[in-house]
Every structure is written in C-alpha cells, then in structure tokens.
Amino acid sequence: MDSWYKFKRVFLSVGVPPTFWLVAFFLVPLALIWVFSFGEKTGVVGIDITWTIDNYIRAFNPDILKIFAKSLWLAIAATVICLFVGLPVALGIVYAPSKWKGLLLLGIMLPFWTNLLIRTYALIAVLRTRGYVNFTLEWFDAKIRVLFDLFGMGGIATALLGERFQALELLYNDNAVILGLVYVHLPFMVLPLYAALERLDRSYLEASLDLGAGHLRTLWNVVVPLALPGIISGIIITFIPALGSFLTPDLLGGPDSAMIATIIERQFKSANDWPFGSALSFLLMYITFGALALRAVMAKRGGSDGLEG
C-alpha cells in the first residue's frame, strides 16, 4: 500500500465521509452524554456542568448495584445457554450436505429480518398462561388422565398430576427473560461459530479419530481449541447486546427482572434525570470495554497457535 500523501485525493474522498459520519453522529453525541454525566440537574430541562462525580457515586448504591449484578447474571446465563445451543447447531450446519447449508443458514438469519417487538410478542403468545405451551401440556395432561381412568387407576393420576391441570407460570420472571435473550441472540452466537468451524481443516478431525479419539473427545481436544477464536467472538457478540437489552426484560420480565437498560431509560424519560442516566450509560459502556479487553487478552493467548479469529 502506498502512503496516503501519494494519492491524497483518493484517500480524502474515501476517508472523509465515514470520518465525518463517525464524528458527527457517534463521537460528538457520546461526548455530550459523557459531559452530562458530570452535570447537575437544575430544572426540567436545565443541566449545569459542574464536573461533579455525584452521579457516579449515586450509581454505587445497593439498589443500582443489584440491578447491574442482575443484568450481568441474566446476560451471562443467556450467553452460556446460547453457546451450548449454538455449538451443536453450528456443527450441524457445517456438516450438513452442501445443498442444505444455505437454507439452514437462512433459517438462522431469518429472525433478523423480523421486527424484534413482533418476535417478542409472539414469544408471549407461546409462553403466557393461556399460551401454546400450556395448551399442549394441558392436552397431554388430559390424555394421561383418560388413560389412567381406562385402567381404573384414576386415583394414581390424581396423586401424580394433582386434582386438576395447573398452568405453568412461564412469563414475567427471570427465566422468561433468559429464554427471550437466548431466543433473540442465538444467531449472534451461531454465525461466528459457524464461520470458525467452517474454516477448520477436516483432516484435523480425521487425524484425531484416526489416533483413537471418539467424537466427544475430538470435539473437546481438537474442535473447541481450534475454534476458540470463533467461540470467544461469539461469546462477546452475544454478551454485549444481551447485557444492554431493554425490550426483552421490559416485556417478558417480572417486576424484579429490570435490567440496567430499563433503569437508564427511566432516567432519561420518567425520572428526567439526564446526568444520572448518562453516568449509568457510561458505567455500562465500561463493563463492555472490560469484556472486550478480556477478549483481546484471550486472543493474544490463543493467537500463538497461528489461528486468528
């Protein structure tokens, strides 16, 4: 590549628009929020920039910390489940007949093209008390009771299943939020895993089998270490948006499943406390930076095998 000064015009025409975009619509607003986070609310719309760190100190009260911790827990749980669901799915696509691969990948990506709100409400329709999961369970419940009655053992059925069918409470709790986060973020996990596994030379797997390892040991000893950069990418790409989720906990969660984004939104809207909201936003960003730094460290350690993510 020649130096930029040799083809000044080319570099200017290619470089200036994105730079302008980045500065005007990303860095400047971000800087504003950062400045707000050191301000004080003086009225309904007024903010005095006093360079106080009160907003950050306020964030370290137990209630907010609890929500941060809860957000972390929900995001980590969702990421781990995504990994355990996504790895077999990605492996399945990699080893599917080539004429199926495109279709299967399309199946993974299709949800991206559907509005998140619609998908979430669809999930509610499935999970609610009078939803499809409960309908199905109720149907099985009824059939089992009929079967037991047929053999004159209705008493046993009642003892096992209770007096009558109890609908499961699947919505408005932490489990619903985790399920929703997994549902929304699974493609983020599957795609980088797929990319990493697809690149993997099959002769490594065959060599492992040839040397006496079974499929599980090959997966653990060869596939996972060699796909590690992809796995870490998948974890990061899933974890970051999961941590900042707003819609999912808001719609699927119970009163105590609020995640940090819900609290931030509340500061900017109902509480009208922009400085505090800004401070919380930046705290969330620092956590994200931490995750990225962790990835960089891991990549450096994994980089010695000559396979880059």
Looking at the Cβ atoms of 114 and 221, the one nearer to another protein is: 221
Cα–Cα distance measured from residue 215 to residue 237, given in angstroms and rounded to the nearest whole number: 28
CB of residue 304 to another protein, shortest distance in Å: 7
Min. distance of Cβ 99 from another protein in angstroms? 12
3-state helix, strand, coil in the chain (%, to 5): 75, 0, 25
CA gap 26, 220 in Å, rounded:
42
Binding site for another protein (CB under 8 A): 201, 203-204, 206-214, 217, 221-222, 225-226, 304-307
Q: What does the alpha-carbon distance between residue 147 and residue 223 come to, in Å, rounded to a whole number?
A: 47
Q: Provide, rounded to whole angstroms, the least separation between the CB of residue 308 and another protein.
A: 12
Least distance (Å) between residue 106 CB and another protein: 24
Nearer to another protein, 91 or 167 (CB): 91
Round to whole Å and give the CA distance between 262 and 98. Answer: 43
- Axis crossing angle, helix 28-36 with helix 274-302, rounded to the nearest 10: 120
CB-nearer residue toward another protein: 125 or 207: 207
Provide, rounded to whole angstroms, the least separation between the CB of residue 302 and another protein. Answer: 8
Q: What is the number of alpha carbons within 13 Å of residue 137 lying toward its C-beta?
A: 17
Residue 119, Cβ neighbours under 10 Å: how many?
17
The set of residues, in sequence order, having a beta carbon less than 8 Å from that of 131 and lying 6+ positions away, is 124, 125, 170, 171
The closest of 267, 296, 295, 299 to 283, measured between CA atoms, is 267
Q: Which residue, 231, 230, 185, is CA-closest to 75?
A: 185
Q: In the complex with another protein, which residue's Cβ is closer, 2 or 308?
A: 308
CB crowding 195-210: b at 16 or more within 10 Å, else e: bbbeebeeeebeebee
Q: Please, what is the minimum distance in Å from the beta carbon of residue 204 to another protein?
A: 5
Q: How far is the CB of 191 from another protein (least distance, A)?
A: 23
Q: Output the CA torsion 20→23→29→31 (10° steps).
A: -160
Comparing CA positions, the residue from 127, 115, 110 lying closest to residue 253 is 127
Q: Which is nearer to another protein, 39 or 229 (CB)?
A: 229
Q: How far is the CB of 222 from another protein (least distance, A)?
A: 6
Q: How far is the CB of 216 from another protein (least distance, A)?
A: 11
265: enclosing H helix or E strand: helix 260-268
Facing residues of 49 across strands?
A: 39
Rounded (5°) CA angle 245-181-61: 45
